[in-house]
Amino acid sequence: SYPARSVYKLKEMDKRFGLLKPGMKALDLGAAPGSWTLYAAERVGSKGIVVGVDLQETDTKFPEQVRFFVDDVFEPRAGFRNALEEVAPFDIVLSDMAPKTTGNKFTDQARSANLVEEALALVQACLINGGNFVVKIFMGPDADAYRRELMQHFRSVKTFKPKSSRSESKEIFYVGLGFKGGRGAQGA
């Protein structure tokens, strides 16, 4: 079993888009309490690697192929930075990050926009050419522009709407398939 219900979203996207395979290296942003990390670890298996990061600690017990860091993606410290450098290029970057909501619509939207931009910056720094990217975004004025931005970096961009529960009704996922930048096979 998984520490958070949200695992079903990643499972569904994995089934639909064939995202995770044995031996892959995955980066999981906003990983606590650890459901996505755990699921990804099962899928990549003992020859794969999952690097997870979150502002919050978790007591979830992960298998050996997981390296979990308590850190802020906006201000990464040495431990997480070194792990990124060691493990990169990643085959896939997952971001289920969500800001702490303030109740102020504009503040919340701005924070959400900053998070998805930071996730894309990490993609550009460490995703392999041809790799995939899953990112949660809250529907709002910035979502379309962000999708267009993704379309410049990926061969295709899919939209995934999880069956909504009330609190999550505004969240959608973009799935970027086939990263056009980065290091890798095509030597880009």
Positions touching ligand SAM (CB under 6 A) are 3-4, 6-7, 30-36, 53-56, 72-74, 96-99, 115
Residue pair 53/29 in contact by the 8 Å Cβ criterion: yes
Residue 152's nearest CA partner among 183, 178, 134 is 178
Residue 108's nearest CA partner among 75, 142, 135, 134 is 142
Specify the residue, 166 or 187, whose C-beta has the smaller distance to ligand SAM: 166
For the annotated catalytic residues, the residue numbers are 136
Q: Which residue is nearest to ligand SAM (CB)?
A: 30
Contacts of 109 (CB under 8 A, 6+ apart): 138, 140, 141, 142
Q: Tokens at residue 83, please?
A: 């792990």
Angle 184-120-112 from CA coordinates, rounded to 5°: 160
Residue 117's nearest CA partner among 145, 139, 90, 89 is 145
Specify the residue, 118 or 149, whose C-beta has the smaller distance to ligand SAM: 118
Specify the residue, 10 or 130, whose C-beta has the smaller distance to ligand SAM: 10
Specify the residue, 130 or 136, whose C-beta has the smaller distance to ligand SAM: 136
Give me the sheet containing 127-138, strands edge to edge: 66-70, 49-54, 25-29, 90-95, 127-138, 171-179, 154-160
Specify the residue, 8 or 178, whose C-beta has the smaller distance to ligand SAM: 8
Nearest-angstrom CA–CA distance, 91 and 23: 10
